[in-house]
Chain A
Amino acid sequence: GEDVEQSLFLSVREGDSSVINCTYTDSSSTYLYWYKQEPGAGLQLLTYIFSNMDMKQDQRLTVLLNKKDKHLSLRIADTQTGDSAIYFCAEGGNMLTFGGGTRLMVKP
């Protein structure tokens, strides 16, 4: 079955860049997604990338996709304390498979 893996934790200083990594196994996924979850809340879709793209940039967010290695990353430029949250990558079609989430802590 599909499997999506993420590292559990990332700590950065305010103003630095954050890079959150994800690996997946289902090579047939058409889209891959990044979601953000703040404490006690639902998930918020940040961005998604079509599987035939290598990169997508949206303001401070850059998504890189290495389809050969089945590796997805999310780079947050100029990380702010408000970016502290859990970030989930997900892949799939009608049903999504989510990774376990990476908790990003931003230190002032």
Chain B
Amino acid sequence: DGGITQSPKYLFRKEGQNVTLSCEQNLNHDAMYWYRQDPGQGLRLIYYSQIVNDFQKGDIAEGYSVSREKKESFPLTVTSAQKNPTAFYLCASSINGGPNEQFFGPGTRLTVL
């Protein structure tokens, strides 16, 4: 089945540690996105990539890094520089052109202890 997966579902991290969240899609989508969702709030864009080996900062990129070495994969690293990393992280993908129908993964809930 085609889809977008994120792992792990829940992640705990100690302060000062970097952690990498996985996002994989087999939809053959060109574009991929990372969002952060805080309780009771909407989604804020962290990074996006419209093509392999290229990515752009979103509204809240500070303290995060990404890579896009393969079309199927867009991992997000939450670095120790991110002051408030505890949140729900959502990955999405879409085709380029036409309506931007973004397909979302199930999310990763990151908690910093």
Contacts and interface: CB of A to CB of B under 8 A. Distances in A.
B100 A40 contact: no
A43 B58 CA distance: 19
Interface string B88-113: 00101000100111111111010000
B99 A48 contact: yes
Contact of A98 (B6, B43, B50, B96): B43
B48 interface: yes
Contact of A31 (B100, B104, B106): B100
A99 B42 contact: yes
Interface stretch (A11-19, A58-66, A69-77, A86-94): A86-94
A100 B109 CA distance: 19
- Interface-centre pick from B100, B105, B106 (highest chain A CB count, 10 A): B100
A45 to B, nearest CB: 6
Given A41-B106, A42-B105, A93 B100 contact: yes
A99 B103 CA distance: 17
Contact of A95 (B6, B48, B104): B48
Interface in B51-106: 58, 90, 92, 96, 99-106
A94 B31 contact: yes
Interface of B: 6, 31, 33, 35, 40-43, 45, 48, 50, 58, 90, 92, 96, 99-107, 109
Interface of A: 4, 8, 30-31, 33, 35, 40-45, 48, 50, 88, 92-96, 98-101
Pick the 9 closest A-B CB pairs, nearest first: A42-B104, A100-B42, A43-B104, A98-B43, A98-B42, A31-B99, A42-B106, A42-B107, A42-B105
